[in-house]
Chains A and B, each alone.
Chain A
Amino acid sequence: MRFTVNDQVFDIDVDPGASLLDLLRRLGFYGVKNGCDNGDCGACAVLVDARSVTSCDYPARAAEGKRIVTVEGLAPSGSLHPLQAAFLDTGAVQCGFCTPGMLISAVELLEHNPDPSESEVREALRGNLCRCTGYTKPVEAIQLAAARMREVDHD
């Protein structure tokens, strides 16, 4: 089956019973985390054709022909996506285990809504459970990144 992950093309055999989470981790995309294996926590979120989904309950084979983006693909190596930078600047990362999934949800949000309100950000993060931060700083980070990205677009 053919698909791309972070613009890298794969053409490989995929176990028909595997989840996309298993497949991606097996391929070395360890930024995709397993927090519950049950569709509840969002740690495993990835973009499939620009939509964020939980990969643990997404059949791997359903990704055939699709473009997948994981946290590793958000920015070229050595640089940071504005969301990643904002997460660091605001202290939105504690243990970091939920962070890849949150970033993925945030990427999709800002794609559709470059200036989200606090409650829109919270809605967008609803499927990303975080036990460390209480969400205050991740929400702040996403709004900060949005503001920075709008500024860049403006210039």
Chain B
Amino acid sequence: MTDQFNVVGQSERRVDGYALVTGKPVYAGDLDLPGMLHVAVLGSPHPHARIVDIDTSEAEELDGVAIVLTHQNTPATRYTTAGQGFPEPSPYDTRMFDTKVRFVGDRVAAVAAETIDIAREALSLIKVSYEPLHPVLSIDEALADRAPIIHDEDDASGIWDAEHNIAGAVEANVGDVDGALQTAYASVEFTGETQYAQHAPIEPHVSVAYLDDNGRLVLYTSTQVPFHVRRIMAQVLGIPVRQIRVIKPRIGGGFGVKQEVLIEDLVGLVTLRTGRPSRLELTRAEEFYASRTRHPMRVTVRLGAGADGMLQAIDMQALENTGAYGAHNLTVVSNTGSKTLPLYNKAPNVRFSGRGIYTNLPVGGAYRGYGATQGYFPLEVAMDMLAEQLGMDAVELRRKNHIRVGETSPIFEELGEGRKGVPQTLGSSSLDQCINIGAERIGWADKRGKRHREGPWVHGVGMSIHMQGSGIPAIDMAAATIKLNDDGSINLLIGATDLGTGSDTVLGQIAAEVLGVGLSEVIVLSSDTDVTPFDTGAYASSTTYVSGNAVRRAAEAVKNQIFDVASAMLKTDPESLHLEDGRAIADDGRSVTLSEVALRSLYGADQFQIGATASFVGDVSPPPFLASFAEVRIDVETGKLEIVNYVAAADCGTAINPRLAEGQVEGAIANGIGYALMEEMRFDKYGRMRNPDFGRYKIPASTDMPPLEVILVDSYEETGPMGAKSIAEIGINAPIPTLANAIYDAIGVRLTHPPFTSEKIWRALQNS
């Protein structure tokens, strides 16, 4: 498919690559301004308490302290930190500083001072008296009778049932699930409980604020959602949007945690109040417990099938721990169903229910996979259980039931993100080939069920299949602006945020392809709310598909303008022209360069700026697919698990930049392996995180990663730019179920609580 393209389908170097590999100061934290204040935040030592009194006088008197912020001198507006489209589907349950604290690390005060050391010293001088309240440290405690009410404030809005600690709730029902389960030939049930985990971008959150010469507030910040930051900042600080400019420089990784307005309000307010630049960078420990986490969930899946293996019913019930605030709770738990259930569209009866539950623990947020990760674990384990019960090969069972091109699922329409979705018919999929290739590469037929042994090691293989989406249909909007310069180069201005994903490069390639130039002719700028057009931001696997389509449209419009000018120059029909190698070429072979076209449009005749802005909102959200396979070996004496080999075959439509696309899958799988085997935020009985550093909270290191083979299997998505779909999230959903199934294949135990540590596997072996 991709051989029809010149720039698309090539693994071009990143457009921002030179700056990154030479260590140029391109991140928010590298901006060092004269007179800049440093901000530090006082976090609550209590999981649940009322603030009775705060005395900041000593801190204010400390030499070098510029300002101290608490609930006493900051806006009381309720809002959500979730960086989502307006109106946000998350409850307005957060205040800049509240009179109540709801988790250990919740904001109590902030100090801005000449140096960070002074700011920290000042924090220790703030005297706070708390009235401790009974903490709620699990979903079960939150739902118990007479549980303490975490959000008892009367000015919150959008909470489903505050009295019972339910932040959000969502249901969908198609057909008669209970009836179908009762009459099914085979049925299984599995509950998987995923743990607290953190995104752990290597760059923690960092923001710098300053006032420009006209007194406008400029935020230079590590965000995935600059336009949402601008809107929410205006809302929280009570100033007009026009007073705020948000610039997103290079970002040191986000994975969802920077789809949140977490620290910008503090530097913004400090700078507005003091008139001085200010900077806040979370410490690694704060990044862990006081930013955002993956929502832990307990999800039960029940499946019913006929003797032929055709699914009759799927029931999925999800309880989500949203922590102290409801950011993203409803949409994440909706996704647990909406991004998983359509995969098995053969089931006529499908039911989903999701509840977001408040606790006094760190706050859930957007995290790569966005709920689907939590749902795929039990769904794909249950599929293996069902195959076993039917005496059918696990791969075969999936082949029978997964969605195919031209088919639909009622869930697409029944369940969206916090509201109804949109109907869609699958336009592209190479999932069948992905499954075949993966099974072949892992040696499925030879290894499954064989339990090969060497010394204490027993081998097993496991697999799972997945889909995600490409943007939120009918909601996510992106726009792009393109203009042509004198020398035939092109400015591409996009609000889409490259957070390391390479989207500047991918979007540049799309523009270059349409305009018949090399990528080096495209100057990409993202994102600056004063300069670049609107884009909802980098989340929900939207950039390549949604922003990519906007870029394609803008480029098409510019192409038509170029044709108009060139046809006048060549005295020919616009229809007879095409663009190639930086020239507009007529059917008869005559041509003009883009530079000549630009010069004429700027200086010659009928002058105008060749340029266009175009927007795109998806009607559908074409899913990428993934088939994931792993071979593990387990040391039965110690429970140690090693991944012998990992194969992931993925369908992202056209891979605009194959290396960058592979990199997205590799990174997501690595992150998923971390979540499956080692990552877990642990809390003591006072709700304090016990492991807020990389020494104790382990993420995969180079030597932890197994041989990993990622194979892109092209399909062509007609609605996507050059046939592309998005790919950044899907890989993270795979390792937990794939490895859980491989563990079962090796040793016959089903683990229900990741991470699957050696000790857990050893215990399971002891008990089996």
Contacts and interface: CB of A to CB of B under 8 A. Distances in A.
A, B: real partners: yes
A120 to B, nearest CB: 11
Interface string B24-63: 1101011010000000000000000000000000000000
Interface in B686-742: 693-695, 699-703, 705, 708, 710
Contacts of B27: 30, 33, 97
Nearest to A77: B22
Interface string A5-42: 00000000000000000000000011111111110110
Given A30-B23, A38-B694, A128-B702, A94 B667 contact: yes
Contacts of A49: none
Given A33-B252, A35-B202, A95-B202, 10 more contacts: A74-B22, A84-B21, A94-B253, A95-B499, A103-B21, A123-B702, A131-B255, A134-B670, A134-B671, A134-B708
Contacts of B13: 88-89
Given A40-B693, A94-B667, A133-B663, A88 B253 contact: no
B21 A133 contact: no
Interface string A100-124: 1001000000000000000001110
Interface in B260-319: 281, 283-284
A70 B23 CA distance: 9
Interface residues of B, number: 56
A33 to B, nearest CB: 7
A80 B14 CA distance: 14
B649 interface: no
A116 to B, nearest CB: 12
A131 B702 contact: no
Interface stretch (A60-68, A135-143, A147-155): A135-143
A139 to B, nearest CB: 7
B556 interface: no
Contacts of A38: 284, 693-695
Contacts of A121: 702
Contact of A131 (B17, B281, B693, B699): B699
A4 interface: no
Given A125-B702, A134-B705, A135-B702, A94 B202 contact: no
A43 B680 CA distance: 22
B626 to A, nearest CB: 14
B22 A72 contact: yes
Contacts of B667: 94, 131-134
Chain B CB within 10 A, most for which of A72, A80, A91, A98: A91
A136 B646 CA distance: 12
Contact of A31 (B16, B17, B24, B201): B24
B659 interface: yes
Given A84-B21, A94-B500, A100-B23, A131 B253 contact: yes
Nearest to B501: A94
Categorize the interface residue count of chain A.
35 or more
Interface string B497-537: 00111100000000000000000000000000000000000
B253 A95 contact: yes
A97 B659 contact: no
A53 interface: no
A93 B695 contact: no
Contacts of B17: 87-88, 93
Nearest to A132: B667
Chain A CB within 10 A, most for which of B21, B24, B201, B251: B21
14 contacts: A30-B25, A35-B202, A80-B18, A89-B13, A94-B500, A95-B250, A96-B252, A121-B702, A123-B702, A129-B701, A130-B202, A132-B667, A135-B705, A137-B666
B283 A37 contact: yes
A43 B200 CA distance: 13
B283 to A, nearest CB: 7
Interface in B655-682: 657, 659-660, 662-663, 666-671
Given A71-B23, A88-B13, A94-B501, A136 B666 contact: yes
A122 B703 contact: yes
A1 B27 CA distance: 30
A95 B663 contact: no
A5 to B, nearest CB: 12
Nearest to A135: B702
Contacts of A97: 27, 201-203, 252-253, 500
B703 A126 contact: yes
B745 to A, nearest CB: 24
Nearest to B694: A40
A129 B199 CA distance: 13
Contacts of B22: 31, 71-72, 74-75, 80, 84
Chain A CB within 10 A, most for which of B11, B703, B708: B703
Nearest to A102: B702
Nearest to B251: A95
B694 to A, nearest CB: 4
Contacts of B356: none
A81 to B, nearest CB: 8
Contacts of A123: 702-703
Given A125-B702, A134-B670, A32 B23 contact: yes
A35 B666 contact: no
B192 interface: no
Given A94-B502, A134-B670, A41 B694 contact: yes
Contacts of A29: 23
Contacts of A75: 22
A43 B202 contact: yes
A42 to B, nearest CB: 9
Given A95-B500, A134-B705, A37 B284 contact: yes
Contacts of B30: 30
Nearest to A89: B13
B235 to A, nearest CB: 29
Closest 6 CB pairs of A and B: A31-B23, A95-B500, A134-B670, A97-B252, A96-B20, A91-B659
Contacts of B695: 38, 40
A38 B695 CA distance: 8
B204 interface: yes
B610 to A, nearest CB: 31
A99 interface: yes
B703 A129 contact: no
Contacts of A131: 199-202, 253, 255, 667, 671, 699
Interface in A43-63: 43
Contacts of A93: 14, 17, 20-21
Contacts of A41: 202, 694
Contacts of B29: 34
Interface in B90-121: none
Nearest to B254: A95
Nearest to A137: B663
Contact of B253 (A70, A72, A132, A134): A132
A117 B418 CA distance: 50
Given A94-B253, A132-B500, A137-B659, A99 B21 contact: yes
Interface string B188-201: 00000000000111
A2 B420 CA distance: 66
